[in-house]
Structure 1
């Protein structure tokens, strides 16, 4: 099974820098991130009582604090690749330890966590098989991996609108849902549930969407992206193309969210 090629995803160093810069503005525009994370929390198996949980891609620590409240007697670890996010999250608490690290190479011992939680971070990982292998390694037997990620179909309106303007890469790439299915099936973890659910946000104008993506640190970081400022004519072309998608609530931006609950059975 081939996963996304490294060349098709942003350099992780650029991702770390971009999200570090966005730390102070992130929570002000993170409506989708909160909705998805709370949905993932609701999907956790009933009766979980972990001794230690790990929040992978903790960002500003919003869900580290939610997990800390949900599991008040547990030890919490919050991990992120972006030092700026960790610096923002650490004073706000929620976890006992804030760790700089990568989901594809966790700096943790084997069989050391009961829950690995990750909401809207793993889409930046080129090797999802490595993510699953690392989760399996650090989970104790009976431990749970709960993740929310993004798949193909995300920001399709923005992608199609840019396609009408030029042939360059303007929107971040995501793996197919079928890749998530196959990689999870081959992971050695037991798949309790795995499916997609669209989340649609609406905006008055395109510039509100593009501003939000930049404030989140999730704007276009792909190889092959245009360099320099986008010309006025192309921006006007984007606006005109996106208007074809307008609905009564505004311009839609669809996120295809993958929700997965996997268990380490042995």
Structure 2
């Protein structure tokens, strides 16, 4: 098994969390709001020209999609998520009274296989979905395919300091991984450059929650869908002894409470012109439109 993540488990976890996600996702909303601030750069580059098609990818409750609909009333806004229950729970945010004239379209699809035409999207917004993807360069290649030249990519993911307290605790209690690995800001930027995106700008934040006990940590992660989806996870119950050991090993703050760290990595980049090369470890890979390849017919 080469894949790091079990995609079906990811969909199941977020589908199961859909009904209570609104109450459990304050952290995601905060990161989303910070990422949305970068949308101002679209007007700085394009002046009065408004985006015509905007995608909220890995949309969850589709708050970002609703925000874009308010900001750009004439644009087509598409909310995409791989978990159907999450899209169903997003209905109030995409079909509210003020959205009746032009509601947000909802599409159930995997971001690794976007059902979107080439060079059709003006703004691609992806908040906290890429950390569940094995092949980041392939995901960015798909983003590049659908984004118009000069289109804006806004995305956020989790960096390696995320959940380090929980990772440390379980390393003392169990031999199998309980916390996903997360890419660092340099690797995230390198993947954008390798995919051919122009002028990437990256930033990071550390956000720390403080919870009363170990049970609250685990319940909070489950409520937001952030459960263990690694193929290498334990597929049987971990048992009380392992959880008790992890509880005992969890680092506390000065008041005996349980800190939970999240490292948010933000990226802004622009869609490249057609023909911009894609780079891998071996150098540049040519990108040639099919229409420019001569075909000899017998």
TM (norm. structure 2) is: 0.82
Residue number among 140, 164, 168 corresponding to 1:160 in the alignment: 168
3-state DSSP class of the match of 1:50?
coil
Q: 1:200 is paired with a residue of what secondary structure?
A: strand
Alignment of 1:33-52 (within 5 A): 33-48=28-43, 49-52=50-53
On the 8 A contact 1:44/1:261 being kept in 2, the answer is no
1:198 maps to 2:199: no
Task: Give CA-to-partner distance per residue, 1:159-184, whole Å, 9 cap, x none.
Answer: 00111112211112222333212111
Give the number of equivalent residue pairs: 260
| Separation (CA, whole Å) in 2 of partners of 1:62 and 1:102 | 19
Q: 2:220 aligns with which of 200, 208, 212?
A: 212
1:124 shift after superposition: 0.8
1:144 and 1:108, CA in 2 relative to 1: closer, same or farther beyond 3 A?
same
User: How far 1:46 moved relative to its partner?
Assistant: 3.5
Task: Map 1:70-81 to 2 at 5 A.
Answer: 70-81=71-82
- 1:257 aligned residue: 264
1:186-233 CA distance string (max 9 Å, x none) = 111113311322121111111111101111111112122223333222
Q: Report the CA distance between 1:115 and its aligned residue.
A: 0.2
Unaligned runs of 5+ in 1: none
Look up the SS of the partner of 2:15 in the other structure.
Answer: helix
Mapped partners of 1:70, 1:247: distance in 2: 44
Partner in structure 2 of residue 58 of structure 1 = 59
CA RMSD, 1 decimal: 1.9
Higher relative contact order structure (alpha carbons within 8 Å, sequence separation ≥ 6): 1
- In structure 2, C-alpha distance between the alignment counterparts of 1:76 and 1:158, rounded to whole Å: 37
Question: Once the two structures are superposed, what CA deviation does each residue of 1:208-265 show, in whole Å capped at 9, x if it has no partner?
Answer: 11101111111112122223333222222111111x3324493211111110000014
Report the equivalent of 2:8. Answer: 13
C-alpha displacement of 1:44:
2.1
- Structure-1 residue corresponding to 2:122: 114
Counterpart of 2:293 in structure 1 is: none
In 2, Cα distance between equivalents of 1:249 and 1:60: 34
Query: Does the CA-based 8 Å contact 2:176-2:234 persist in structure 1?
Result: yes
Take 2:10 and 2:271, find their aligned partners in 1: how far apart are those partners?
30
Residue number in structure 2 paired with 1:238: 246
Give 1 or 2 for the bigger CA radius of gyration: 2
Choose which of 207, 232, 235 in structure 2 pairs with 1:224: 232
Of the three residues 25, 38, 42, the one matched with 1:30 is: 25
Local SS of the residue matching 1:257: strand
Tell me whether 27-36 or 232-241 shows the greater mean CA deviation: 232-241
SS of residue matched to 2:237: coil
Shift of 1:91: 4.3
* Stretch deviating more after TM superposition (88-97 or 151-160): 88-97
5+ residue gaps in structure 2? 44-49, 96-102, 274-298
Contact in 1 for aligned 2:65/2:79 (Cα 8 Å):
yes
CA–CA distance in 2 between the matches of 1:191 and 1:184? 9
Matched residue, 1:98: 106
SS class of match (1:149): strand
